[in-house]
Structure 1
Amino acid sequence: MSGLNGEMMRERRRRWLFWLWLGGILFPLAFAVQYWDAARQVFAYLFAPRWVHVVMHAFLYAILAALGEQVLFAGRRKALAWIFGFVLLVGVVQEGLQLLPQRTWPGWWEEVFDVSVDVGGAALGLWAGRIWRRKNAPLGGRFRRRGRDLNPRSLAGNTLSR
């Protein structure tokens, strides 16, 4: 038994990373620090500026969308719609879970803003992921056009007379 091959191992790691990342988004550090005063002060100091909050939301959801595209929605028709729907659902659930301990709904605009940053971050993550995959495709992706592989190495056995 040789075990799992390299591609299967990479797929397994992606799946684990996806589920861990999703868990980290849905059950954020803010829950843990509410029981430890020193950690709460550090957390408040680091994440108090609005720009840090926005950047962190965008970053978290950019990675979630890039992983989700590979793990959950690879090869699906209308994958972008599925991904954005999934990100929207996770964003709404995450905002709700943040408000649960407070037993309040402080205001719609803050939550709508956060979810819109989440979706914007997802768009950036998908865009960056596609650029990265294109640059790491065989021969820099130069030979891909209209869904056909025009890489000379893959055409070696084919005749080019058309």
Structure 2
Amino acid sequence: MKSLSVFLLFALAACNPQKLDTGGMAQEMRDRQPKHVTPSQLATLADEWGRQLADSLNQRLPVSRQDTALIGKLGRQYGAEAKFMTLRDLSAQPDPKVREVAAAYHYAATNRLPAEPNLQKLDGGEYWLYTAPTAQSDSTGGFWAIRFSRKNIILRVDVKTLNRLKTPE
């Protein structure tokens, strides 16, 4: 009888009264589905998602420059890390690739040339850096630096999107 009581006690303790997030679990299973993603598809996805995120951030200017919670929230939607970078102090940029892009945007702003969004492969393709000038880019303005990891791009992309991006062979 004692062993039955102990068994029932453990059985009740093992039951978790919390509901399972079946929607979240289903999404996680879809994300973890095996996928074959080519480097060109990675670049296309980073470019598309970077453009969408930069457009979302630019629509909320000038408030979004200082709103780290908003930047973080929008970045998490795309699995990215977004930062606003100023053109004032180029030497303060820690990443040499970001310094190069900042110098190019600074040159374009001071010479009144059009500044275009840019996509750079970092660390041998492990990361992608999407940069986009703000709508108010001038010599004191800045740009958005959006960093995607290869892992997050692959996890977040769905099979339908990959099929859309397939190049005919």
Check whether TM > 0.5.
Answer: no
Question: Which protein is bigger by CA-based radius of gyration?
Answer: 2
Which range, TM-score by smaller chain? under 0.3
More helix by share: 1
Q: TM-score, normalised by structure 2?
A: 0.27
Q: TM-score, normalised by structure 1?
A: 0.28
